[in-house]
Amino acid sequence: MVAARPLNVFTLYCPQTLYLNVMITSAIPVIAVSDSARAEDYYCRILGFAKMFAYPPDAKSEPRYLGVARDGVWLHLQSYKPERAGMTDAFLWVQDVDLLHGEVSARGAIVQLPPTDQTWGTREAGVRDPDGNVLVFATKPRESRAG
């Protein structure tokens, strides 16, 4: 039997009354794209991400692997499997989905879903990248929207 330890941010209570260390601290979606230069332009210029790295660093041709980030959230874009381009969905929590939607749509984002109150309690907006990958941005409902 494992000795119980106090529960904190880095431990998880197990239903069997065991306390386990939580090792996973974040996740980074890896999005398959067919053209890394086009994807870099769209994610950075339209969606407001910044390129953090590229591999190979000086490559001008495919395939490439890129890291982009915005507000501390990272996405990886890769063209090593172009046959998988357009098959990824990613869900991102945001502070204000309406504000973000206004920002990216004004820059030409491919909007699939305008800000919508969902029956499950979130307000969501969805965009597609040029390959058809879907990014859903969501905000937990505000009290003022409840009535």
What pTM did the predictor assign?
0.81
Indicate the domain borders of the chain. Answer: 11-145
pLDDT (0 to 100) of residue 18: 54
At 80, list the tokens: 């090593």
Percent of the chain with pLDDT over 90: 73
CA dist 85 and 77 (Å) reads: 10
* CATH C-level class of 11-145: alpha beta
pLDDT (0 to 100) of residue 116: 97
Residue 143 CA from chain centroid, whole number: 25
Whether the bond into 82 is cis, omega within 30 of 0: no
Please tell me what DSSP assigns to residue 84. G
Rounded mean pLDDT of 55-69?
92
pLDDT (0 to 100) of residue 11: 44
